[in-house]
């Protein structure tokens, strides 16, 4: 195969790297939380599948074998990272999974670049590096956004609770003030009822 044909083949492969990688590594950043047992099973399955995938690469040679191994390693790491993200169910864990996916895609892309030489190879490597930087940057932005939403939700809940407490206090003061128009047992009963109604001791 001529260098030109190889260059066209690899360029075409890299052009599909984004969607292909997403399909290969399966995006699970919004997965439902899983139990510890499910997490342990997912890790075990990832290791078993990884071993089988690597063994399947043994029939290949040269750079084809290197690409095959990079894909096998990437799939194994991504499966384990996705399992951890689903188990921990935190923005940071989901960011780690996306970082792992970006790194796995990068490793495969760089191995594919080895099919080229000279400036074509240099450009290929730089494109792979740029895709890695972009993938990690996007993962960080999504994590910060999720953290901000969580923080905002917590602050809203705190503000709502504080507002409700202030409203109860204001209503309690009104109820007590009304009791002042009474005397004796009637006043005592009124005050007791107001305290019970508004959770005061």
Same domain, 119 and 180: no
Q: What gap in Å lies between CA 69 and CA 157, rounded to an integer?
A: 49
Q: What gap in Å lies between CA 113 and CA 124, rounded to an integer?
A: 6
Same domain, 63 and 146: yes
**Cβ atoms < 10 Å from Cβ of 148:** 11
Same domain, 118 and 179: no
Give 143-175 pLDDT, tens digit per residue: 888 878 878 888 888 888 888 888 888 899 999
Give 51-79 pLDDT, tens digit per residue: 999 999 999 999 999 999 999 999 999 99
Same domain, 100 and 16: yes
Q: What gap in Å lies between CA 29 and CA 85, rounded to an integer?
A: 7
Same domain, 186 and 104: no
pTM of the model: 0.62
Domain extent, residue 57, equals: 3-152
Would you say 147 and 91 are in contact if contact means Cβ atoms under 8 Å apart? yes
Same domain, 126 and 169: no
SS (H, E, C) the chain: CCHHHHHHHHHHHHHCHHHHHHHHHCCCCCCCCCCHHHHHHHHHHHHHHHHHHHHHHHHCCHHHHHHHHHHHHHHHHHHHHHHHHHHHCCHHHHHHHHHHHHHHHHHHHHHHHCCCCHHHHHHHHHHHHHHHHHHHHHHHHHHHHHHHHHHHHHHHHHHHHHHHHHHHHHHHHHHHHHHCCCCHHHHHHHHHHHHHHHCCC
Q: What gap in Å lies between CA 64 and CA 21, rounded to an integer?
A: 17
CA distances to 10, 116, 117 from 4, rounded to whole Å, are: 10, 9, 11
Q: 45: exposed, middle or buried (C-beta count within 10 Å: 0-12, 13-18, 19+)?
A: middle
Same domain, 7 and 50: yes
**Locus of tokens 């894909």:** 71
First to last CA, the chain: 88
What percent of the chain shows pLDDT beyond 90? 61
**Number of domains within the chain:** 2
Give 3-42 pLDDT, tens digit per residue: 443 333 333 433 334 434 444 455 544 457 899 999 999 9
What percent of the chain shows pLDDT beyond 70? 85
pLDDT value of position 31: 52
Same domain, 179 and 107: no
Same domain, 112 and 177: no
């Amino acid at each position: 195969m001529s260098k030109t044909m190889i260059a066209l083949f690899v360029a075409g492969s890299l052009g599909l790297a984004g969607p292909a990688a997403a399909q290969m590594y399966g995006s699970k950043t919004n997965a439902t939380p899983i139990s510890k047992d499910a997490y342990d099973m997912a890790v075990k399955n990832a290791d078993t599948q990884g071993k089988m995938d690597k063994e399947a690469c043994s029939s290949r040679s040269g750079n084809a074998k290197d690409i095959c191994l990079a894909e096998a390693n990437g799939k194994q790491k991504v499966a384990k990272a996705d399992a951890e993200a689903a188990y921990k169910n935190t923005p940071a864990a989901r960011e780690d999974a996306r970082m792992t996916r970006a790194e796995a895609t990068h490793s495969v892309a760089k191995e594919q670049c080895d099919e080229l030489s000279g400036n074509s190879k240099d450009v290929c490597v730089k494109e792979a590096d740029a895709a890695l930087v972009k993938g990690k940057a996007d993962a960080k932005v999504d994590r910060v956004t999720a953290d901000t939403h969580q923080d905002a939700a917590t602050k809203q809940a705190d503000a709502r609770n504080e507002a409700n407490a202030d409203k109860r206090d204001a209503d309690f003061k009104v109820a007590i003030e009304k009791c002042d128009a009474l005397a004796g047992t009637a006043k005592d009963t009124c005050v007791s009822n107001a305290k019970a109604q508004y959770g005061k001791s």
